[in-house]
A and B are shown apart, each in its own frame.
Chain A
């Protein structure tokens, strides 16, 4: 019919990363809420209203969240792993941040973003903090499985999967930074994200064991992470193994 009213448009999908300031006088809870619901606000504050307190809050939150998840990881083996696993996860994350920070700044510049080092430091802390938040969310799931199996290989694979999901959301923040601050979408930040993931994966092997137990704090043998994974899978699935073991 000529005068029929057109059907209403579906509701607009909310913008995932609104580039706007955080509400004035925000608290720590406000930072957490912004990280989850409006990560663009965190990027805005770090770029336009940088304060050391915000970066410090993000770093502290990241470390506390990772330490909390580390407790769950350590609960699989128990004993000394209850403090070793959180310590290694926090230390490894800090080292990975330090190792990858120079290249993050360079890649940001290559992507055409005009920003300062301290802004990118804060954004990287925010990405790790967001990942840590998600890991806390996954902690009950990981704990249930860690009580239900004796297989180091299975738990290692599960923690890896949960970490992969968490870090993908965290690194989405890094990719969004380039888009929000330069208006351009390019492959530079994606490449950097891949480098960061590879460094983190290698760091897990450098600081092994994190899930299982050992007499030493750090391993005596140097190995690349793929070699370590294949050896672990071989041990877990080899014909000589009758029952999975925690050691």
Chain B
């Protein structure tokens, strides 16, 4: 598993393409374990600003969000991969996407001591500088998650280029997967909220009526209130 871990981070496309072609269940299990370990650790540091209980809830929900997104889009991602000519099967598509989430999760896990240190230094909830502390935490998490996502997708793109043998096909497949995962992922994150937790609301695993409401409608209403 250590060799797999290092090869994924290094972006060793020769090895990764061999594992992907084999689609060995061990690859699936090791990617799943890396996702759980890395994203749970990082999720803990997201929720801890609000309350220790919130940190436990977020540690559970972050990996859940990733798995639900993969499961929800599994069929369509597999179909798109075939339609766009990548040569990947449904099983291989799932493995490739899980591999890229595993890379992101490992990067996030490695950043968790740093984000925990930032939380330790942030003015606590209820103090006069709490809003500045909240802003710093939020920006840090945005930067770290964006960085992890970019690195993971670069590795995935190189793997797709190797397997498909065609740069435009690789770009098309990656873009289609990203679009689908972001679209569904944003909505699932809305359903699974809160992750950070609002100071004026009680700490809950899920908000009341979690399936009610829509991320995109909420963004539209916020936009309308601000500008229209």
**Chain A residues near B (Cβ < 8 Å):** 98-100, 102-103, 105-106, 109-110, 112-114, 195, 199, 202, 205-206, 222-224, 227
Contacts and interface: CB of A to CB of B under 8 A. Distances in A.
Contacts of A206: 120-121
6 contacts: A99-B113, A99-B117, A102-B110, A110-B9, A110-B151, A113-B10
A202 B117 CA distance: 9
Nearest to A98: B113
A109 B117 contact: no
Nearest to B11: A112
B111 interface: yes
A199 B117 contact: yes
Given A202-B121, A206-B121, A222-B122, A109 B136 contact: no
A205 B10 contact: no
Contacts of B133: 222, 224
B123 A223 contact: yes
A103 B6 contact: no
B121 A205 contact: yes
Contacts of B151: 110
A96 to B, nearest CB: 9
A206 B123 CA distance: 12
Contact of B118 (A98, A110, A202, A223): A202
B109 interface: yes
B117 to A, nearest CB: 5
Interface in B50-75: none
Give chain B's interface secondary structure class.
helix
Chain B interface size band reads: 20 to 34
Contacts of B114: 99-100, 103, 195, 199
B89 interface: no
B99 interface: no
A103 B110 contact: yes
A114 B7 CA distance: 9
B124 interface: yes
A80 to B, nearest CB: 24
Given A109-B10, A112-B11, A224 B117 contact: no
Contacts of A114: 6, 10
B108 to A, nearest CB: 10
B107 interface: yes
A168 to B, nearest CB: 20
Interface in B101-136: 106-107, 109-114, 117-118, 120-124, 127, 129, 132-133, 136
Nearest to A202: B121
Contacts of A100: 113-114
B113 A102 contact: yes
A209 B127 CA distance: 21
A223 B6 contact: no
Given A113-B10, A224-B122, 9 more contacts: A99-B114, A102-B111, A103-B111, A106-B9, A199-B117, A206-B121, A222-B123, A222-B127, A223-B123
Contacts of B118: 202
Which of A106, A202, A206, A222 has the most chain B CB atoms inside 10 A of its CB? A106
Contacts of B132: 224, 227
A91 to B, nearest CB: 14
Contacts of A112: 10-11
A222 B6 contact: no
Interface string B69-112: 00000000000000000000000000000000000001101111
Contacts of B107: 106, 110
B140 to A, nearest CB: 10
Contacts of A102: 109-113
B11 to A, nearest CB: 7
Contacts of A113: 10
